[in-house]
Amino acid sequence: MSSDSGQAIDTLFQEERRYPPSAAFSAAANAKPDIYDEAFESFWEREAHERVTWFEPFTSLYEWNPPYAKWYLGGKLNVAYNCVDRHVEAGRGDRVAYYWEGEPVGDRRAITYAELQDEVVRCANALKALGVGKGTAVGIYMGMVPEAPIAMLACARLGAPHTVVFGGFSADSLADRLNDMGCEVLITQDEAYRRGNPVPLKTTADEALAAAPSVRKTLVLRRTGNPVPMTDGRDHWWHELATDGSPCAPEPMDSEDLLYLLYTSGTTAKPKGIVHTTGGYLVGVATTHNYIFDLKPENDVYWCAADVGWVTGHSYIVYGPLCNGATSVMYEGTPDFPDKDRWWEIIERYGVTILYTAPTAIRAHMKWGPQYAAKHDLSTLRLLGSVGEPINPEAWVWYHEHIGGERCPIVDTWWQTETGMVLISPLPGITTTKPGSATRPFPGVDAAVYSEEGNEVGPGGGGYLVLRKPWPAMLRGVYGDDQRFRDTYWSKYPNTYFAGDGARIDHDGDFWLLGRVDDVMNVSGHRISTIEVESALVDHRDVAEAAVAARADALTGQAIVAFVTLKGGVEGSVEKLEELRNHVAEKIGPIAKPANIVFTPELPKTRSGKIMRRLLRDVAENRPLGDTTTLADPSVVAELQDRGAAETHDD
């Protein structure tokens, strides 16, 4: 447990539960155990032929000039053709591509692949009329409507790179991204729905456009129908312009042509435009989607409950599933509108078989209680997925029991906006899963855990997650900023990708993600990861969610402050506080016992649902808050600051 072992992070938490695959699942699984035996080159070559239709075949598999990779060199393809047209040509036009469920109850659409093709063509013709062609940068600022994927696919059809900006972002954030990419056209909508209220996308877009002079034209979808300002000559209604359904040939693109930029909000600095290209990205997302979600396109109803504005939406709502000919569910609103069983009602209605969501959502459902899921028939579910943060073992087990009915394998998928595709995940039917572990690198992925000095940390030890070989969907840089690309990901170790996450590998070779390395705490010389202490807290029967941060301490260097959300109905008290501290001591040792615990109904999160521990550090230290612009709900930290002062407890 001591830090002089050469480990960058000490690991304390032991999770002993094991979930082997059932024989029936294994027998029918897309992935068979020998998938791990295939050589890197032959794996990625075979998958490229199997998953994707090429207009012209690639002539070489990859080229690696660190830190830049190219994949499927010489290949020509079109992403929209692969995601839409070829399924229609193969006679699958009647298959549903999206069951779309609007937030207002009863607002539903089923869109077949043939209809999707028609809509993509109309949108592409409209964009053409606005002067969009190969290489024209297009911004997309929309909610969870079918026209968001349609707009993305229309861009891909024309060879116009897009950047999707999450509909919850402000005018400033939108303008920054449009300016950085030099967008000429913006696709948006009048308003979106969120928890029953309209979100004024067009008005916000207008504000952004005042500061984004490169944008000449907009295409505006009518969603809510409420009046919005339209600027003559610049703004065009989707329903008026996207009427031409005459053929629009998919542009043959080079494997390495830009498909999209997606901006990751750093904590303070300006967002980075993560570059994703065409061939490798499509092969990477389609391959991982096929094996990790065990997709049977004729039977499955797949639901990735993320937002299209995040990379999860790009790779696993749009490009991966459509390339594989999947039938997906897409839901516009929040999980608690009009009530907290909305998700479960959707699963029952469409017979969803695969559900992919984030730990933050699972913990919200845990907090609300299992009675909402219990009201609905979830027996169609056969596989569950998790992404976005380390999943606390207790949340994993809750998901397994209350949503998966103890029969569904859970795939805890580790990846990043930068990686484009999942890189570490169980393969259902093969992997014996462990709550809290993302288990193994995907076939053809070379991941390892390094010490500060760059030595491989052995089984049981904690360190930094790295990737030693390129992978097809990897980022091709930070747009317009080569130096930042090198500094952020490639400067810690030579020719090795530094993910910025802590991890450990256990004695079976399974990976446990320990959170962002910036969040690691140092208590009396022990380097403790936040997730382990949080998981020990969530392990307590009364705790729904927990986040920990360190504050300076004269004696121990740093002391742990925990912020805890109790399950519905449970009251915070001095006794409860002691009980929780002792629970942590029992689970992982006295060293990790929080010095203070603050009870709070909500934790500060980013708009994508990640806990912002950086702000919790500010609260714990009683200092003014750093940058709060990426915060989903600023009132949460203000309240925490009050509580922090009122309820802290010291040894």
Nearer to ligand WT7, 268 or 379 (CB): 268
Nearest distance in Å: CB 390, ligand WT7: 4
Residues in contact with ligand WT7, total (CB under 6 A)? 21
**How many CB atoms neighbour CB 61 within 10 A?**
18
Largest interatomic CA distance in the chain:
74
Binding status of residue 254 toward ligand WT7 by CB under 6 A: no
Q: Angle 424-427-433 (CA atoms, 0-180°, nearest 5)? A: 85
Could you tell me the two tokens for 104?
């207002």
DSSP 311: H
Position 608 contacts ligand WT7 (CB under 6 A): yes
Cβ-contact 146, 330 below 8 angstroms: yes
Categorise residue 481: left if φ over 0, alpha if ψ from -120 to 50, beta otherwise. Answer: beta
Query: HSE-up of 363 (CA within 13 Å, CB side)?
Result: 32
Least CB distance to ligand WT7 at residue 423 (A): 9
Distance CA 124, CA 129 (A): 9
Check if the beta carbon of residue 516 is closer than 8 Å to that of residue 547: no
* Segment interacting with ligand WT7 (CB under 6 A) among 67-75, 144-152, 394-402, 412-420: 412-420
| Stretch 92-121 residues interacting with ligand WT7 (CB under 6 A) | none
H helix or E strand, kind and range, residue 440: none
Q: Kindly provide the b/e burial profile for residues 13-47, where b requires at least 16 CB atoms within 10 angstroms of the residue's own CB.
A: bebeeebebeeebbeebebeeebeeeebeebbbeb
Count of CA atoms in the C-beta half-sphere (13 A) of 435: 22
User: Taking the complex as a whole, how short is the minimal distance between the CB of residue 610 and ligand WT7, in angstroms?
Assistant: 7
Taking the complex as a whole, how short is the minimal distance between the CB of residue 562 and ligand WT7, in angstroms?
Answer: 19
**Amino acid (one-letter) located at 183:** C
361 binds ligand WT7 (CB under 6 A): no
Which residue in 7, 255, 417, 596 binds ligand WT7 (CB under 6 A)? 417
Please report how close the Cβ of residue 438 comes to ligand WT7 at its closest, in angstroms. Answer: 5
For residue 388, the minimal CB distance to ligand WT7 (Å) is 5
Q: Stretches 171-179, 207-215, 497-505, 635-643: which one binds ligand WT7 (CB under 6 A)?
A: 497-505
Segment near ligand WT7 (CB under 6 A), from 17-25, 156-164, 381-389, 394-402? 381-389
Distance from C-alpha of 402 to C-alpha of 398, rounded to nearest angstrom: 6
Residues 7, 368: Cα–Cα separation, whole Å: 39
If you search the block for the tokens 């990897």, which residue do you land on? 474
Which CB atom, from 132 or from 292, has the smaller least distance to ligand WT7?
A: 292
Strand-pairing partners, residue 325, are none
250 or 359: CB nearest ligand WT7 = 359
Instruction: Give least dist CB 546 to ligand WT7, A.
Output: 16
* Nearer residue to ligand WT7 within complex by CB, 283 or 438: 438
Q: Is 513 in the site for ligand WT7 (CB under 6 A)?
A: yes
Of 118-126, 177-185, 409-417, 620-628, the segment contacting ligand WT7 by CB under 6 A is 409-417
Choice between 75 and 404, CB closer to ligand WT7: 404
Q: What angle do CA 363, 365, 369 make, to 5 degrees?
A: 115
> In terms of C-beta density within 10 A (0-12 exposed, 13-18 middle, 19 or more buried), how is residue 457 classed?
buried
Strands (DSSP E) contained in 296-359 are 302-304, 328-331, 354-357
Does 164 sit near ligand WT7 (CB under 6 A)? no
Strands (E) located in 265-335: 272-277, 302-304, 328-331
Q: Is 412 in the site for ligand WT7 (CB under 6 A)?
A: yes
User: Which residue stretch of 211-219, 250-258, 396-404, 496-504 sits at the interface with ligand WT7 (rule: CB under 6 A)?
Assistant: 496-504
Single residue of 158, 171, 499, 550 touching ligand WT7 by CB under 6 A:
499
* 214 is an interface residue for ligand WT7 by CB under 6 A: no
Q: How far is CA 419 from the centre of its chain?
A: 11
- For ligand WT7, give the closer residue by CB, 159 or 390: 390
Nearer residue to ligand WT7 within complex by CB, 223 or 363? 363
**CB closer to ligand WT7, 266 vs 460:** 266
Q: Which residues contact 482 (CB under 8 A, 6 or more apart)?
A: none
510 binds ligand WT7 (CB under 6 A): no
Q: Does 416 bind ligand WT7 (CB under 6 A)?
A: yes
Candidate ranges 176-184, 371-379, 386-394, 468-476; the one touching ligand WT7 (CB under 6 A): 386-394
Which of 44, 58, 169, 415 lies at the binding interface for ligand WT7 (CB under 6 A)? 415
Q: Which is nearer to ligand WT7, 112 or 416 (CB)?
A: 416
Binders of ligand WT7 among 426-445, rule CB under 6 A?
438
Among 413, 433, 488, 558, binds ligand WT7 (CB under 6 A): 413
Token digits for 147?
């026209």
CB nearer ligand WT7, residue 312 or residue 451? 312
Per-residue CA distances from 346 to 125, 197, 217, 611 (Å) = 34, 20, 37, 27
Quick check: 390 binds ligand WT7 (CB under 6 A)?
A: yes
Q: Which stretch binds ligand WT7 (CB under 6 A): 69-77, 198-206, 224-232, 406-414?
A: 406-414
Q: How far apart are CA 292 and CA 25, in angstroms?
A: 13
Contact set for ligand WT7, span 303-322 (CB under 6 A): 310-312
Residues of this chain that interact with ligand WT7 (CB under 6 A) are: 264, 310-312, 387-390, 412-417, 438, 499-501, 513, 516, 608
